[in-house]
Amino acid sequence: MTIPKRSKRSGGPRTAEGKRAAAGNAVKHGATAALWWDPDEEAEYQAVLAALLEEFPGPSPSAQMLIERLAINYVRLGRLERIDNAQQQLARLQAEEVNALLEQPSAEAHGAAAPAPAMLALRQAAALPSPERMNSLERHRMNLERQVITLVSRIRLLYRPRSPVVARRAAGGEAAEVAAIVYETPHN
């Protein structure tokens, strides 16, 4: 069997610098960290899980798994909000530093101020977080929101009221009809 030419070229970074850069790909902002960042996040998860288990009592193993996943995604959405807020705050601090530097008289300019449009553009650019990080966070947020919507739909399907099911059971050679009501919950 021959190896396609393109596979000889692929396979990740070859240099030490490239490997260091690739090692940071998964941890640009920590939004997808597998573990909890701190005890507060774990406590938030436990609180969300308890609230969901109260809303959806007596779950089957499959429903339990979906509920746990929903609680994890809920906490991760909160994490994304905190990261987003931190990046916005950092950008504001950096903009304040740029503004402070722009306010200082320049020795080269001999007291002449820069043109207003250039100053405004520089100040606006300094007040924005990194577009690459913001786009990455937004993609993660949209993905988590889609997962949350899907999980809620699946959980509600498992808990939706069902009509009585008539089951037949053989009892001593006779067929007996047994009305069995499948789990109903007041939540729709």
Highest mean pLDDT among 6-10, 14-18, 54-58 belongs to 54-58
Q: What is the pTM of this model?
A: 0.60
Please give the pLDDT value at position 1: 55
Please give the average per-residue pLDDT across 46-55, as a whole number.
Answer: 94
Domain ranges within the chain, ordered by starting residue: 37-100+121-157
Rounded to 5, what percent of the chain is helix, strand, coil? 60, 5, 30
Residue 167 is classified by DSSP as: E
Task: Give a three-class secondary structure readout of 90-138.
Answer: HHHHHHHHHHHHHHCCCCCCCCCCCCHHHHHHHHHHHCCCCHHHHHHHH
Ranges 51-55, 56-60, 70-74: which has the least confidence:
56-60
